[in-house]
Amino acid sequence: MGKIKWSKPSLLAIAIILLWLKTYIVYKTSFDIKIENWRQEFILFLNPLSFLMFVLGIGLLLNEKKQKRYIMISSFFISAILFANVVFYRFFNDFLTIPVLFQTSNMADLGSSVNELVQVKDLLYFVDFFFIALVMYVRPQLLKYRQMAKTNRRAYFLVAIAIAFLNLGLAETERPQLLTRTFDREMLVKNIGTYNYHIYDVFLQSKSSAQRALADGSELVDIDNYIRANYKKPNDEMFGIAKDKNVILITMESTQNFVINETVNGQEITPFLNDFIKDSYYFENFYHQTGQGKTSDSEFLVENSLYPLSRGAVFFTHSGNEFNATPEILDKNGYYTASLHANNKSFWNRDIMYKSLGYERFYEINDYEVNEENSVGWGLKDIDFFEQSIQHLKEMPQPFYSKFISLTNHFPFELGEEDSFIDPYTSDDKTVNNYFPTVRYTDEALKLFVQRLKDEGLYEDSIIIIYGDHYGISENHNIAMGEFLGTEVTPFVSTQLQRVPLIIHIPGQEGQTISKVAGQIDLKPTILHLLGIDTKKNIEFGADLFSEDKLDFTVLRDGSFITKDYVYTRDICYDKQTGEPTDKNACEPYMENAKNELEYSDKIVYGDLLRFYENADYRKNN
């Protein structure tokens, strides 16, 4: 019987396989990446492979000596990138980004703790490198080198490309708009891998840097002139009416205005808000203006009075910009500023963006007691979130500006029977059915929170602003929504469904319903005006909601707009009274304004133009 010949493995194959397996093991042991099904597990396992094949495959173009050196050096640097993320994750529970590398305070903190973060056992993260080096220099005869033919090299790279497309296709199936809705680094790493994520991060940073580098202060002149020409005088009677009061700003996740003063199965959906409105200013024609950034876009709008971008999330793509946000302004006026949200701090890049906005403190998931009993869906239940937040409020210096972001009323609207205060709607659409109990739950959480504010003596010293961040029911559910509303959901109706609640409670003020058309972009100047802070010199597109001169006009991120009498969407002008299409000429007077506002705001963000506004010479000359 002849001997079985053992084919010597190539250094390239060994390096790829070892790095691939090591990366997957690191994913499972060193990062807290949540896996929900076998498809996500397969994507996680697959995602390093195409990158490793591409990078190490370059060695196929080299002779034996250079190939070995290239593979060794590449293996070391790839391992170093992975290890750097591990160390950073240990300290910040986050993945490295290029903007983070320039956050000197973060890097200083990391450096000062290096002795605690790096351990001897961390040498295991380089075990594949040591193994290859040992074999290459001690037993090189075990490795095979063969010059690969050009046809075979092409086939190799075609396989790598095919794997890359397979990975991306599976990822897009699991998480649609993955690369355009770049809202969470963990989501990116889980779907495209650590290495590809860093390439994507470089792309985003390069694109942003190029646009910023080409911008100059002259672009801001036209924008400034437009804003001054369209400035609306605020309501003098409301100026400073809440001076030195605390500000409690509450973002209601996915809450649309159609639930206010409405019932399902004969039960009130928002009984507390319905009562709270009676003692507050209630804006019944207030629209969200978010894009792909959803909740983070609503935050951006409210804090800056600028529009979000049409693609991606400003929080993720332009967190390093110069802003003149509400927290920064209030900080200069003696306020303590904080945001409270019981979620991962990196979600929507908040940990970085909040520093750009001027927040002094971010209370995130690690500042809350979170367990299986008090969690549902996306995390900590709203009742527990607001209850635990009371202690944080009590510890804040006054006056404070505190922003709360609720979580329970988030798609897919999960809720246990023990937390259901009303029965689900009954239709063939589970999403629509379950939406109402989660809205009702948030309403109950707000009721208990307001009562706790009263118990702790904070209620009378605070203005309370409650608003919806974006839609909860998308157009994919128009049939069930039409059934609930009792009318077909046309583009006109769909646009009207973009209304979200806005309630402003000011101690000592009587309740009033205001019907003027407005949007989230108007909140910043309104809040500052109520606190007695002049907004005339600010670069912002909103107007005081109480202003008698404010136009009945607001622009949505997709270019749609709403006026007192008309709704313009999908290139059709609708009459608000009839809900039917009308002569497009009726909407034309507003089209230029809508276009200008979105384009000017985009220029500010893409070019980081507010850095020029901070320049003393610019202000002096303009």
Query: Which residues are marked as active site?
Result: 295
Burial of 133 (0-12, 13-18, 19+ CB in 10 A): middle
Q: How far apart are CA 318 and CA 610, in angstroms?
A: 12
In sequence order, which residues have a C-beta less than 8 Å from that of residue 275 and are 6 or more positions away?
none
Taking CA atoms, 44 is separated from 148, 203, 295, in Å, by: 30, 22, 27
Place of tokens 């990116």: 188
Q: How far apart are CA 345 and CA 339, in angstroms?
A: 11
Q: How far apart are CA 179 and CA 172, in angstroms?
A: 9
Q: How far apart are CA 578 and CA 567, in angstroms?
A: 11
Span between the terminal Cα atoms of the chain, in Å? 94
Q: What residue type is assigned to position 11 of the chain?
A: L
Q: How far apart are CA 380 and CA 385, in angstroms?
A: 6
Which own/partner pairs from 209-214 qualify as long-range (CB within 8 Å, at least 24 positions apart)? Answer: 211/606, 211/607, 212/606, 212/607, 212/608, 214/607
Half-sphere exposure at residue 194, Cβ-oriented, CA atoms within 13 angstroms: 27
The two three-digit tokens of residue 405, written as one number: 């972001």
Give per-residue burial for 145-170: e unless 16+ CB within 10 Å, then b.
eeebeeeeeeebeeebeebbeebbeb
Q: How far apart are CA 547 and CA 371, in angstroms?
A: 46
Task: Give the Cα-Cα-Cα angle 295, 298, 301 (nearest 5 degrees).
Answer: 155
Q: How far apart are CA 59 and CA 50, in angstroms?
A: 15
Strands (E), 394-501: 400-405, 462-468
Q: How far apart are CA 347 and CA 538, in angstroms?
A: 29
Q: How far apart are CA 415 and CA 437, in angstroms?
A: 8
Q: How far apart are CA 520 and CA 269, in angstroms?
A: 23
Q: Is 327 helix (H, G, I), strand (E, B) or coil?
A: helix
Q: Is 518 helix (H, G, I), strand (E, B) or coil?
A: strand
Nearest Cα residue to 256 out of 432, 498, 431: 498
The two three-digit tokens of residue 184, written as one number: 């969470």
Size of the chain in residues: 622
Taking CA atoms, 15 is separated from 11, 145, 259, 304, in Å, by: 6, 13, 58, 49
In sequence order, which residues have a C-beta less than 8 Å from that of residue 592 and are 6 or more positions away?
none
Q: How far apart are CA 537 and CA 543, in angstroms?
A: 12
Distinct helix (H) and strand (E) counts, the chain? 25, 18
CB of 456 closer than 8 Å to CB of 238: no
Nearest Cα residue to 42 out of 171, 187, 156, 161: 171
